[in-house]
Structure 1
């Protein structure tokens, strides 16, 4: 659950790319930071671009890359909200997702479902 701009909404792990970092490596790093689990990154499911006003009053341009991924084993680690990024971590079946969800999470679930259908 997000503690940032989408506070109180369930979302997907994610965040910024460090200078010189590959996007897939950033996805792995952010997932580890926010869930305690290391994902195996798969294909790109979608790319989303938008501009927004950040909390510091600066207009920003965000680009989100959604990857398919899996975990070999494990469950979400206990997370500490000390850093202010997240309040809670949870795993849910797609047909029993808690609400509210961020628009990005809704799009991710739809794209992941489409990818599973095309693989099967």
Structure 2
């Protein structure tokens, strides 16, 4: 009777932009070029999520985070070879969505004499069209893969003074560093949106604000890489309130180590002619304010 062999393994799909992190199987596994998801066998008593983090580091040198949910794939090969002998093999593979920091170093193999010969970011297009030879698990995992959905509600202040608008600049810790935004941020759980605007004005500009009526509702929807490095299907909903701040007090950044590194009164002409890079919500708010005047 052919010996039965069952193996439990855990892997990660790690997508960044139009690339996916893969590991090439070593010659001890196959004589052909063949790429796989980073991952491997789950040790006895080991949590599968811990196994993924360990295996990704061993095979790519990168420290990954993994999500809470996974897809499970089963492969039964009743007549195959393992380590020089014929076996009835059954592999159960748990595949998580994973991510690494955007500024992570280039991948490199850490384990010595293991099953991985090389680690690299590979074009998704080459995987999907078959140009890059991969194990069947890669195609199966990508067919079931969806970017993490993330919806964020944020509130902002529209504060004019003469022909200038109060704006904050995104720090290197945020999305699109160097781009200017309206003072504001995410609504905390249970927080009144008006209180959000008031709080953010204080944190980002050092100003006590009087919050007025709702001026505009704006939204943005895109798929991209979050600051954490996670591949996200992002939907942002932006509520913009009119606001006023006291005269004679210059704005200053109060929050240290956050996503704002500068605050200023920016001439509207410099925003409208493109001299100052701003997010779309800024232009949408300006358009709404102009429409109110006509």
**Structure 1 gap ranges (5+):** none
- Structure 2 residue 170 is the aligned partner of structure 1 residue 2: yes
**1:68 corresponding residue in structure 2:** 242
Please say if residues 203 and 254 of structure 2, whose CA atoms lie closer than 8 Å, have aligned partners that are also in contact. Answer: no
The answer to whether 1:84 aligns with 2:258 is yes
User: As a proportion of its length, which structure holds more helix?
Assistant: 1
Equivalent of 2:227, from 41, 50, 55? Answer: 55
The aligned runs of 1:1-120 (5 Å cut-off) are: 1-3=169-171, 4-52=174-222, 53=224, 54-56=226-228, 57=230, 58-73=232-247, 74-77=249-252, 79=253, 82-97=256-271, 98-115=275-292, 117-118=293-294
TM-score (ref. length: structure 2): 0.36
The 2-side partners of 1:49 and 1:101 are apart by 15
Contact 1:31/1:39 (8 A) holds in 2: yes
Compare the two structures and name the one with the higher strand fraction: 2
Shift of the alpha carbon at 1:20? 0.6
CA contact (8 A) 1:6 1:102 kept: no
* Secondary structure at 2:197 match in 1: helix
CA contact (8 A) 1:80 1:87 kept: no
How many residue pairs get matched?
116
* 1:80 Cα deviation after fit: 5.9
Q: Summarize deviations over 1:2-32 as a string: whole Å, max 9, x none.
A: 1210211111111111111001110111111
Shift of 1:113: 2.8
Shifted more, 100-109 versus 47-56: the winner is: 47-56
Q: Measure, in 2, the Cα distance between the counterparts of 1:90 and 1:14.
A: 14
Aligned-pair RMSD on alpha carbons? 2.0
Q: 1:87 to 1:5 in 2, by over 3 A?
A: same
TM-fit CA distance, 1:95: 2.6
